[in-house]
Structure 1
Amino acid sequence: MEGIALGQIVHSRAGRDKGRYFIVVGIVDENYVLIADGDLRKIERPKKKKIKHLVFHDWIAKDIQEAFQLNKKIKDSDLRKALQSMGLL
C-alpha cells in the first residue's frame, strides 16, 4: 500500500475496463482502492478495484489531491478535466 495516494493516476490491466485511466479517490485497505474517471465511473459510485489489477503511475492530479486535503467536494467534471489535461481521456 506504500506509494498509493489520493489523486494518483492509474490504469486498469484487467477486467472490462482494461486499458482505461482512472484517478484514485479512496483507499479501502491494503488490497483495494476506489477509482473513478468522471465518465464511465462517477465519483458518487467509484469502482472498488484490487491493487494487483492496476498499474500505478507517478502522475498525480494536483487539483484533485488538494481538494481531498481540504475536504472540498469533487465533481465528475473535475476528474474528467484532470485526465484530459494529461491527454488520458
Structure 2
Amino acid sequence: MFNTGFIPQIGQFVIVTSGRDAGQYAIIVRLAEKFVYLADGERIPFDRPKKKNPRHLQFIDHVSLEVQNSMKEIGRVTNGKLRFALTKFLNERISEKEKGDETHGQR
C-alpha cells in the first residue's frame, strides 16, 4: 500500500507539511491506495475529508483510540469527537513542553 516502510493508521495524528493547510494538525480518517484522508472536525469535517499524499505529512506517533474505536464500531466519527481528540492531544503536547521549560530553570 505505502512504499515508505511506515503504515499510517486510522486515528493517527499528523501535521500537514505542504499546501494550503501547512502547519495544521489533523487526524487520519480513511486510508486509500496511495493517499490518506484527513479531517479535523472543524475546517475539514468528517463528511468531506481532505485527500493528501503521505509525503506531504509529518506523522506523529500517537493514535486517538476514541476515533479509531468509533471508526471500527460504526464506520464513522463525529466532528465533535475529532475536535475533542485534537484539543486533548494539543493540550497534552503544550503541557509537556511547559514541563520541559520548567526543568530548564525558573526565575
TM-score by length of 2: 0.76
Alpha-carbon RMSD across the aligned residues, in angstroms, is 1.3
Indicate the residue corresponding to 1:44 in structure 2: 47
TM-score by length of 1: 0.91
Superposed CA offset, 1:12-66 (max 9, x none)? 000000000000000011x210000011100000000011000111110110011
Alignment match of 2:58 (pick from 55, 59, 70): 55
After superposing on structure 2, the runs of 4+ consecutive aligned residues of structure 1 that deviate more than 4 Å are none
Indicate the residue corresponding to 1:65 in structure 2: 68
Q: Larger RCO: Structure 1 or Structure 2 (Cα < 8 Å, ≥ 6 residues apart)?
A: 1
Unmatched runs of 5 consecutive residues or more in structure 2: 92-107
Unmatched runs of 5 consecutive residues or more in structure 1: none
Give the letter for the 2:13 counterpart: I
Query: As a proportion of its length, which structure holds more strand?
Result: 1
Rg (Cα) greater in structure: 2
